[in-house]
Amino acid sequence: MKKFAAILLAGAMICSLAACGGEDKKETTKAPETKAAETKAPETKAAETKATEVGTEAPAGETKGAGTESRDDGKLIMATEAGFAPYEYTEDGATVIGVDVDIANEIAKAMGKELEIQNMSFDSALLAVQQGKVDFAAAGISVTPDREEEMDFSIEYTTSRQVVVVNKESKRVDSVDALTADTVVGVQTGTVADFYCQDDLGTKDLKQYGKFMEAAMDLKNDRIDCIIMDALPAEEMVKVNDDLEVLEGEVFTDKYAIAVQKGNTEMVEQINEVLQKLVDEGKVEEFIINHTTK
């Protein structure tokens, strides 16, 4: 009987060990699921880093696809930076108007939607497009290889000239050819002039501004030697600042397009259809004249 009891006891112990072993194995099979979830963390971290670098207040980790394609509220949302006359500027300090706004109104009309304009910094406008917070951005945007990796673009609808604005009295720069790496240059952050000074001119003392009027004040007070910017906004600037002038010649030429969230082919096609019609009918030139002869 003792031997039989011992056998039963041994069997019970074996069953107990087997049950324990089964629980260990079950816990082990869960580990890859936990590990997989952990591997997603770097993606969220990368999104947070990118948002910080661009200087937006967008919520960290927001996915790129929170998309405008799913919006169906009857509104077409445009992001811009309204300090770039004649393309976008404010009237009476509130209403945003300009060449790009006229174009955007035509696009909204063709789509049967109401245009809503969100005024923000230039960098934030580009990021808002990437994150799908707006339908498109129009702010005198140049198409560059780096930008094409992050967003899609419409056809180019106008050509601009990048020029040099100086203080009439001090005139620290007397010609476009006199620009050197030692010239203290003012630019709007994130524009092609900004990239040109960094990559081509090799400017050692580059002053970056959110708005051109801030640069104009520093130029008037001789804190910088010149401003490099688009010709049309430059001409508008000197109209209201008679102590500034635009030098003869151009630094380089540039073309503008409308930026759309990457992959939103339908939006690009709708915008292109309207843009091509406006260009063919001479409407874009008409808009420019309307906003430069006031």
In a domain, 137, yes or no: yes
φ/ψ of 117, rounded to 5, equals -105, 130
Q: Which positions ≥6 away from 235 have C-beta within 8 Å? A: 246, 292
pLDDT at 261 over 80: yes
b/e string for 149-184 if b means 16 or more Cβ within 10 A? ebbbbbebbbebbbbbbbbeeeeebeebeebeeebb
pLDDT at 18 over 90: no
Same-domain check for residues 179 and 155:
no
Same-domain check for residues 203 and 128:
no
The secondary structure of 237-251, three-state, reads: HHHCCCCEEECCCCC
pLDDT at 28 over 70: no
Answer yes or no: are the C-beta atoms of 180 and 225 closer than 8 Å: no
Same-domain check for residues 147 and 167:
no
pLDDT at 90 over 70: yes
In a domain, 127, yes or no: yes
Q: What is the pLDDT of residues 263-285, one digit of tens each?
A: 999 999 999 999 999 999 999 98
In a domain, 47, yes or no: no
Same-domain check for residues 181 and 241:
yes
pLDDT at 158 over 60: yes
Same-domain check for residues 105 and 223:
no
- Beta strand 252-261 with 185-188 is unpaired
Range of the domain at 208: 160-253
Q: Return the residue matching tokens 């050692």.
A: 204
Confidence of residue 166 (pLDDT cuts 50, 70, 90): very high
In a domain, 55, yes or no: no
Query: Around Cβ 71, how many Cβ atoms within 10 Å?
Result: 15
Q: What is the pLDDT of residues 192-228, one digit of tens each?
A: 899 899 999 999 999 999 888 899 999 999 999 999 9
Kindly report the CATH number assigned to the domain that includes residue 196: 3.40.190.10
Distance between CA atoms of residues 242 and 63, nearest Å? 47
Q: What is the pLDDT of residue 43?
A: 37
Q: What is the pLDDT of residue 294?
A: 53
Q: What is the pLDDT of residues 91-149, one digit of tens each?
A: 887 899 999 999 999 999 999 999 999 999 999 999 999 999 999 999 999 999 999 99
The count of structural domains within the chain is 2
Q: Which two tokens stand for residue 15?
A: 């069953």
Answer yes or no: are the C-beta atoms of 143 and 226 closer than 8 Å: no
Same-domain check for residues 149 and 265:
yes
Q: Return the residue matching tokens 């699921």.
A: 33
φ/ψ of 139, rounded to 5, equals -160, 45
In a domain, 59, yes or no: no
**CA 81 to centroid of chain Cα atoms:** 10
Q: What is the pLDDT of residue 29?
A: 35
For residue 141, give Cα distances in angstroms to 64, 123, 173, 206. Answer: 20, 11, 27, 21
Q: What is the pLDDT of residue 54?
A: 34
Distance between CA atoms of residues 122 and 193, nearest Å? 13
Distance between CA atoms of residues 4 and 289, nearest Å? 107
Same-domain check for residues 127 and 182:
no
Same-domain check for residues 272 and 200:
no
Confidence of residue 233 (pLDDT cuts 50, 70, 90): confident
Distance between CA atoms of residues 36 and 1, nearest Å? 54
Helix (H) or strand (E) holding 148: helix 145-150
Same-domain check for residues 96 and 141:
yes
pLDDT at 4 over 60: no
In a domain, 181, yes or no: yes
For residue 57, give Cα distances in angstroms to 30, 53, 151, 218, 256. Answer: 38, 11, 19, 27, 26
Per the document, the length of the chain is 294
